[in-house]
Structures are given as C-alpha cells and as structure tokens.
Amino acid sequence: MSQTATTYVVDPVHSNVEFVVRHLMTNVRGHFGSYDATLVMDPADLSRSSIEFTIQVASIDTANKDRDAHLRSADFFDVDNHPTITFRSTAVRKTGDDGFKVKGTLTIRGVAREITLPVSYLGEIVDPWGNTKVGFEVATRLDRKEYGINWNQALDRGGFLLSDEVRVEIGLQFGVKG
C-alpha cells in the first residue's frame, strides 16, 4: 500500500446488502440489516486496495418473521454456530474504466471458498458537509449448496421448492475513517 492509502468504513445508512432466491415460481427478496466493512483504498492505484466485510446473519430480513426464523436455523445459516458471513479480499484486478475483479475468501456457515467478485467503482465525492465518500456496487450469483446450505423440499411433480442459485446485490458507500 502506498502512503496515500486511505482507510474507509462503510456507511450502513446509505448502503445495502440484498439477495434474491427463487421460491416455486416467484422470487423472494431479502436483505441483511447489520454489517460492517473496512476498505483500505489507494486512489493512485485501486488495484492495491483491500476490503474486509462482515455480515451479522441474525439481521436477515425477508419481511416474514417465520421465514426469517427458519433462515436463521440449522436448516439454513445456523446462526447459533455461524453468526457471521465474511469476505476478505486477497487481490484486486482492474478490468475497465470503473470495473474490477476482487478476489478473496467468502465464508458462509463455516465454509470458506475463494471467489472473484465483479465490482463497479462508482467514484468519489464530497458530501454537503465536507465528508469524502466513495461508492461501489457488486452483483453476483452464488450456489448456496457450495456453502453447506442444503435444505430443500422436493415437489410432487418434480423439481424443488428453492433454487440453489442466490443472486446477491450489494451497494456500499464508504466514508473516511475518523
């Protein structure tokens, strides 16, 4: 990291961590309400940046308390034994003007896997109160079974209740750590 690297912390009020999964014929949407992220960013060379991101799984919210309780149970995230989802970057590669591939370790339900996330850098701006903000977006797909989230229900006419694929959409706004 160069001497110009800056440490940022996520602004959860202006950020989001959302997911979509197919249930029968429709999509169920949800989000996590509690998370923390620290970004060390080198504006001279964004490829030398790094991020650590932690989600509190108990904060899952799909607008249905019974479903949320089931998602917290051992059938899905097993929050009692695995209270967090973490991502720690190991490499950042520039792929375009504002595009990056961020490689790192994603740990869900105690299963750690190396993944590469497509990240869009939305830029840097100074807000009306003089605070420097930077923004990023991530859109990816994960196979929940790769992380030990295997629960499903077979349907009488074939197929399953839930898809294995989960779409993940994350928008993060960071402010300078101070």
Place of tokens 């097993």: 78
Domain 6-176 has CATH 2.40.128.110: yes
pLDDT band at 178 (very low <50, low <70, confident <90, very high): confident
Instruction: Residue 33: name the closest of 57, 11, 52, 51 by CA.
Output: 57
The answer on pLDDT for 152 being more than 80 is: no
Q: Would you state the structure tokens that stand for residue 169, as one six-digit string? A: 């959409």
Contact call for residues 30 and 61 (beta carbons, < 8 A)? yes
Q: Where are the domains of the chain?
A: 6-176
Mean pLDDT within 125-146 = 95
Q: What is the pLDDT of residues 73-95, one digit of tens each?
A: 999 999 999 999 999 999 999 99
Query: What is the DSSP annotation of 44-87?
Result: T-GGG-EEEEEEEGGGEE-S-HHHHHHHHSTTTT-TTT--EEEE
What pLDDT is stored for residue 68 in this prediction?
97
Distance of alpha carbon 60 from alpha carbon 34, whole angstroms = 8
3-state secondary structure of 96: coil
pLDDT in tens, 168-177: 999 999 999 8
